[in-house]
Homo-oligomer: A and B are copies of this chain.
Amino acid sequence: LPYKKRETDEHMRAIAEEVFASETKGEGVRDEISMFEEQDDCPILKQEMAYHLHTEEDTEKRWVLVLLDTPTYLEVPDFQRVAIIGDYASGVTMDDFELSCKGVYRALTIREKYMRLAYQRFPLTTSQYLRDIEGEPFKPEHSVQPVFTSPPKEGEDPFNTKCLPENLSWVARMKDGVIYVYKDAAKADQHKPIENMPTPHYETFIDDMNFLIALIAQGPTKTYSHRRLKFLMSKFNVHEMLNEMEEMKELKLNPHRDFYNCRKVDTHIHAAACMNQKHLLRFIKKSYRVDADRVVQNIKGKDELFANLNLHPYDLTVDSLDVHAGRQTFQRFDKFNAKYNPVGASELRDLYMKTENHIDGEYFARIIKEVASDLEDARYQYAEPRLSIYGCNPNEWTKLSGWFNKHRVFSPQLKWMIQVPRIYDIFRGRNFVPHFGKMLENIFLPIFQATIEPHTNPELSIFLKHVTGFDSVDDESKHSGHMFCTKSPKPEEWDIVKNPSYTYYIYYMYANITMINQLRKARGMNTFQFRPHCGEAGAVTHLLASFMTADNISHGLNLKKSPVLQYLYFLAQIPIAMSPLSNNSLFLEYAKNPILEFLKKGLIVSLSTDDPMQFHYTKEPLMEEYAIAAQVFKLSTCDMCEISRNSVLQSGLSDEEKTHFLGADYLKEGPEGNDIRKTNVAQIRMAYRYETLCYELNLIKEGLKTD
C-alpha cells in the first residue's frame, strides 16, 4: 500500500518553502548550482581515479565497488567497455554518498508509486534494483502498462460504435477537485466510492513533493548527482571513441533497414500548427478558389471576409501570412502566440484552425487530413497532434468529438492528445467559470460519463478510443506566486481570478487522469497518459511535479539547471520530447540546446516539431528537425536511430504497433528488447545503455548497504 498516509515532515516543508521563495525571486537555486555550470570533459579515468584512494584510511566506512558481472548477450558483438577498477567513492565523502543514495532511492520509489497508480510506465530494471535494495522479490505483475487502442483491422471502421461496452448505472462526481466513481447516487452522497480504485492521497503527495523539493536543493545530493552526470558524459565520450566504428559496422551489416525507414514519431506537435506555412498558404488559396461564395462566417461570405481584411487570397504570400516565428519572438512567448493568427487576423484562425465555426471546422479537418496523408506518403513517420479542451464549459467534449466523427478525422499515422491550457485566470476573469473546480469538472467529468455510459455519447466514446493522453500547456515563464501545500484552497474553493501554480494544475490533472485510467482499465478500455509541457522555461519545480506525475514530458530544457532532477530523470528513464528548433525561436539558441548532452548521458530524448507552421521551412518538418540536429550536433546514424526508437517508445502507439515497429520483445530492457532489424540501433549501443544504467543503480544499492 504505497499510497497510505504518512506523517507530514515539517522540516521538509520548511525547506520546500524556502526553496520556493528563492525561486519566486528567480535567484537562489540557480546561483547555488552555478558552480556546476562549467564544462569539463576530462577522461573518466583521470576524473574517477583521482579520488580512488580517498577513504583508504577510513576502514570502517570504506567500501569496495563490486563490479557488475558484465552480462553476455548472444547477439551483442564484442565491444570495448569502460570499467572503473579499484576502491571508489565517486568523489564525495562516505556520509554524503550514503545520504545521496538514500535520497535518490526514496525519490525513485515515489515516482514508481505514482506511475503504477495511474497505469503509467516505470522501467523494469530500476524497479528490480529498488526491490533488491528492499530485499523484496521483484514481481513482474507489479509493473503496469498503459493501454492504447490498436489500429483498425483491414476493413474495420474506426468510427464503428457497435463494439462499445454496455452502459452502467454508476455515478461520477467531483469531490475536492477529483472525480470519484460510485455504485449509485446514494453511495455518492455518502462519498463511498467503488473499491479497488485507489486515489492518490493528497497529503502524502504533498509530503512526497516536499521531500523532493528538499532533495533537489540538498548540497551533497547535488554534488553527487552532478558528478555522476559528468561521469556519464565522459563515459559516453569514451564509449563513442572506442566503439563508433563497431556500432556502424553493425548497422552496415543490418540488411534493409536504415535511418530513413526506421519508424519515428513526432511526439509533440500542436494540431493547430501541424501544417507548415507553405501548406497553410496553399490551402487558403485553394479553399478560396474552390468555394469562394460559401458562407463561412455568421453573416458574410469568404469574399467579404477577405475584403474586410483588405486582402485578396491570390496576393497572399508566406510573408503576409506572417505565421512564422522570426527573431522577434525570441524570449517573447506573447508575440509567439500572436503568430497563430494568419495575417494577424483571428478571423482566419477561426476559419482555418478551429474545430468550431460556421463550417463546423471542415477546413481544419481537411488540412489535418492532408498532413496525415503526407505522413502516409512518407511512410515510417507518425505524429501525435494535440487538440484543445479548455474547461470553459461541459459541452466542449461533445463538440470536439462531433467534429472528429463528422469529418472522420482518423489516420493510422496520427495518435491524438488533448492539451489543456493553464488559463483559468482568464476564464475566471470573464466569469466563464465560478471556480477552478468547475474548470476541472468541465474537463474531466464528460470522460467519466462517456466511460460509464458509452452509448449515451457514442461520438465521444469513439473519440476517446483514439485519444492517448493529456498535455498541459502554456507559457511556463509566467509565475503564479502561489505555492502548492496542504493549506492550498481546494479547487472548489479556488474562486479568485489569480491562476493557481503549475504544480497545482499538474496535481489535479494527474489525480483525475489516475481515476479515469482505473475506471477505463476496469472496463477494458484504453487508458490515458499524462504528458505535460514541462521545463521549457520557469521554475525547476515544474520538472519535479512532472517527475512525480507524468509518464513523459515535452521540452525538459531546465533539467540543465538541476543536476539532481536530471540524474533522477536518467535513473527513471523518463522520455523527453525535445524541439530544438522551437526552442531556438523562443528560449534557447540552437547550438546551446542540451539535447546532445542529454542523449550522451543516457536520458531518453526524442525529437519533435512542436509547431511546423511557426518553425519549419521544408515539406517534411520532422525530417528537417532530425537533419538539423544531425548536422549541427554531428549525430551518428546510431544516435539518430536511437532517438527514433525512443520516440516510438515514448509515443501513444499501441502495443501491436510497437511490436511491429520495434520487435516482439520491445518491453524488455537492454539489448534483448531491441530488434536491430527493425530499429537499426546497434546492439552495442543498447548494451552500453543498459550496463550504464545498471552500474548507476548498483552504486545506489551499494550506498544503501552500509545502513
Q: Say if the beta carbon of A334 comes within 8 Å of chain B.
A: no
A631 engages B628 (CB within 8 Å): yes
Which residue of chain B lies nearest to A255 when distances are taken between CB atoms in the complex?
A: B315
Contact B256 A314 (CB under 8 A): yes
CB distance B260 to A278 under 8 Å?
yes
Give the Cβ gap from A238 to chain B, nearest Cβ, in Å: 15
Given the complex, which residues of B lie within 8 Å of A256, measured CB to CB?
Answer: 314-315, 317
Contact status of A318 and B624, CB under 8 A, knowing A326-B636, A618-B618, A634-B327: no
Chain B residue contacts of A617, Cβ below 8 A: 623, 626-627, 630-631
Tell me, in angstroms, the Cα distance from A703 to B693 when the chains sit together: 69
Report if A195 contacts B (CB, 8 A). no
Check if A319 sits within 8 Å of B591, measured CB to CB.
no
Q: Are A632 and B254 in contact (CB under 8 A)?
A: no
Across the interface, name the chain B residue whose C-beta is closest to A322: B252
- Chain B residues within an 8 Å CB radius of A278: 260
Query: CB-CB < 8 A to A373: which residues of B?
Result: none
Q: A256-B314, A591-B591 are in contact. Are A620 and B623 (CB under 8 A)?
A: no
Q: Which residues of B contact A690 (CB under 8 A)?
A: none
Q: Which B residue's beta carbon lies closest to that of A621?
A: B627
A508 contacts B by Cβ under 8 Å: no
In A613-664, the 8 Å CB interface with B consists of: 616-620, 623-624, 626-628, 630-632, 634, 636-637
A280, chain B: closest CB distance, angstroms: 12
8 A Cβ contacts from A175-193 to B: none
CA distance A320 to B619 in the complex (A): 27
The 0/1 profile, CB within 8 Å of B marked 1, for residues 604-620 of chain A is 00000000000011111
Q: How many copies does the complex hold?
A: 2
Report the minimal beta-carbon distance from A491 to chain B, rounded to whole angstroms: 42
| 0/1 interface trace, chain A 652-685, chain B, CB 8 Å (1 if under) | 0000000000000000000000000000100000
Using A591-B632, A636-B326, A636-B327 as known contacts, say yes or no to A320 and B618 having CB atoms under 8 A apart. no
Other-chain residue from B253, B319, B322, B620 in contact with A680 (beta carbon distance below 8 A): B319
Q: Mark A234-276, 1 if CB is under 8 A from B, else 0.
A: 0000000000100010011111111110000000000000000
Q: Which of B244, B623, B632, B680 contacts A632 (CB 8 A)?
A: B632
Report the interface size for chain A: residues with CB under 8 A from the other chain.
45
The CB with the most chain B CB atoms within 10 A, among A255, A256, A581, A636, is that of A255
B320 touches A253 (CB 8 A): yes
Residues of B within 8 A of A51 (CB): none
Question: Are A637 and B319 in touch, CB under 8 angstroms?
Answer: yes
Nearest B-chain residue to A260, judged by Cβ: B278
Chain B min CB distance to A614 (Å): 12
How far does the alpha carbon of A326 sit from the alpha carbon of B245 in the complex, in Å? 11
Question: Complex: how many Å from CA A446 to CA B133?
Answer: 83
> Is the C-beta of A552 less than 8 angstroms from some C-beta in chain B?
no
Interface residue A584 (Cβ < 8 Å from any Cβ of B): yes
Q: Give the nearest-CB partner of A581 in chain B.
A: B631
Asked whether, in the complex, the Cβ of A623 is within 8 Å of the Cβ of B634, the reply is no
B319 with A248: CB separation less than 8 A: yes
Contact present for A319 and B251 (CB under 8 Å): yes
1/0 per residue, CB under 8 A from B, across A299-322: the answer is: 000000000000000111111101
CB distance from A205 to the nearest CB of B (A): 41
Given A618-B620, A631-B590, are A319 and B626 neighbors across the interface (CB < 8 Å)?
A: no
Give the CA-CA distance A619 to B315 in the complex, in Å: 28
The listed residue with most B CB atoms (<10 A of its CB), out of A253, A317, A626, is A317
10 closest A-B pairs by CB: A255-B315, A258-B317, A258-B318, A617-B627, A251-B319, A252-B320, A252-B319, A258-B319, A591-B591, A618-B623
13 further interface pairs, Cβ-Cβ under 8 Å (given A256-B315, A318-B637, A617-B626): A248-B319, A254-B319, A255-B314, A255-B316, A258-B281, A258-B317, A258-B318, A260-B278, A326-B636, A581-B631, A617-B623, A617-B631, A632-B632
